[in-house]
Structure 1
Amino acid sequence: MPRVSLLGLALPFWAVAAESAEKAATPLADSTTGGQLAQLLFGLLLVIGVIFLLAWLVRRVQQIVPRGGQVIKIVATQALGPRDRLVLVQVGGEQILLGLTPGNIRALHVMAEPVHFPDAEPASAEFAQRLMELLGKDQKDKS
């Protein structure tokens, strides 16, 4: 008997919920597919516009922040394996050799004297000119 009375009480609530669902669905049925498509397209364009606006703002903020004041510089890296590497980092006037693994960063050695790389000089104008000549020849051959 208790089941029947609970079922009897549940039916009116179920009927009310079904009626409200029908009323909520009625305005959607009246609108056209073209109107729904236009609304969807407008929403999509709005979201894309917000994404581009945020990207522009991030670039503007990054330009405002001074980049020349970096104190930590990576001087050199050497891969030891697929996930392990050595990194030579310069902090102020001091160089530190770091060992990097997926779960750990460890200072291996602090250099007494900074390591200088003669090969780290910028490319000469000769090299740039030669590179442009080669690129120019390649583009002419493709045409």
Structure 2
Amino acid sequence: MRRLLFAGLLLLPLGGFAAEPAATTVTPAPAALASQAGSGMAAQLGQLGIGLLLVVGLIFLLAWLMRRVQQLGPRGGQVIKLVATQALGPRDRLVLVQVGGEQILLGISAGRIAPLHVLKEPVPTGEAQSASPEFAQRLMELLGKDKH
């Protein structure tokens, strides 16, 4: 479109005289103009699609990289552990957090966290309890590994 305007400006008469008579100017056929505009738009859409795919791919790559970096940190060495949580409503909940050897009951609401109680004796968690030997034996029998 710009080329057509530029060509039209060159053909304007300067000082009342035209470089060529208006009758001899050759204008491209409308079909030729449509094919040029269509190919230009297709090229722009192709570039837009490739750019979009690159950005989405970069987002997925960064998300994967963040997950990998977070997994490299120490698992067992966490100082703060979430012991239990209980929802009280759509925005309110109770959370039992263990910090070192101390457990703290926290009240969490929209925009606010308040310590409610510091427990003198820690609440027993399910981590210390292991599966009973009967369960382990029964599981091994079902799997066919324990053959007496």
Sort the TM-score into its range (normalised by shorter chain).
0.5 to 0.7
Amino acid at match of 1:45: L
Query: What's the secondary structure of 2:82's corresponding residue?
Result: strand
1:50 is aligned to 58
CA distance in 2, matches of 1:118, 1:30: 67
Q: 1:107 pairs with 102, 115, 125, which one?
A: 115
Q: Which has the higher helix share?
A: 1
**Are 1:91 and 2:91 an aligned pair?**
no
- TM-score using structure 1 length: 0.57
Structure 1 unaligned spans of 5+: 1-18, 130-143
Amino acid at match of 1:91: V
Larger CA deviation: 118-127 vs 60-69: 118-127
Distance change >3 Å, CA 46–CA 123, structure 1 → 2: farther
Amino acid at match of 2:52: L
Amino acid at match of 2:79: V
Amino acid at match of 2:87: A
Amino acid at match of 1:110: V
Distance change >3 Å, CA 56–CA 32, structure 1 → 2: same
Q: 2:80 pairs with 72, 85, 92, which one?
A: 72
CA distance in 1, matches of 2:94, 2:128: 18
Distance change >3 Å, CA 101–CA 121, structure 1 → 2: same
**Are 1:61 and 2:69 an aligned pair?**
yes
Number of aligned positions between the proteins: 106
CA RMSD in angstroms comes to 3.4
Percent identity, please. 65
Contact 2:104 2:117 in 1 (8 A): yes
